[in-house]
Chain A
Amino acid sequence: MSLYAVQKFLYQLNRTPDLQGRYRVDRTGAVAGFDRADDLTVDEVDALVAPDIGYLFHLGVNGQILMHFAALHGIEWADYLQQMRDGIATHGPVREGVYAMIGYDGVDAHRGQPDFLAGSDGACNAGSDASGTETGS
């Protein structure tokens, strides 16, 4: 997976009206035309095309990027929040990025990972895939 690439596509989409126009007409084509498309997994492409807000949040997409993507799709605020909650319930804690620090379960869960702010692209790599426990309360 490439959280960096997923977020970069959304960053470009959020700030580029021409790309938004192409995405509205042909979502798959717009994603395929992204210059880092080769870094995206099939699941990531599917989530960007669907769109699957919950899965993207689970992957670690920053809400400041994700909320504009939801708005582009006309998803109301309350629905946007619920889709993120559903994504966590379905797929598990946030896997990477700034939110993986605590996974919304409390500071005690990440006390053992002081290096979260050292990574680029918000990559705290809390390692939920590895341990599966650190974001639990």
Chain B
Amino acid sequence: MKQDEVPQDGDNLHQGTFKQIMYAVDNTGNYVQVPSSGWEPENVALGQAWEEVNEKVKNALARVHAGEISPVAYYMEKTLMDLPLLASYVGKFQWQVKRHLKPEVFKNLSQKMLSRYAAAFKVSVAELIQPA
């Protein structure tokens, strides 16, 4: 990659504030550091990953309101966690967390367990029970 080929495809993903360093060859064939404001293929891939996340979060919220899943399932998507990760944050086995994804199990959770989930998701217990 030549110095003048270093991509400068900035977009709102970087919020215009963040430049990466890339290594490229200058006119004399020597490697130099060149700041880059982003690259189209990476932006596409990153944007797509977020689109997937946002869609899952939206679906999860709708299902919480429909009473199909518990708020834990929604916040798990929202904080980009999966079952093993969430289980280790709240100090439970995966099968236990899996049960807590059901609304009928969730409504019987103790205050202590609720506050553990709230802490893992960085929300208050009230927000946990009633996701907006």
User: Do the two shown chains form a genuine complex with each other?
Assistant: no
Which residues of B are in contact with A by a Cβ distance under 8 Å?
Answer: none
Which residues of A are in contact with B by a Cβ distance under 8 Å?
Answer: none
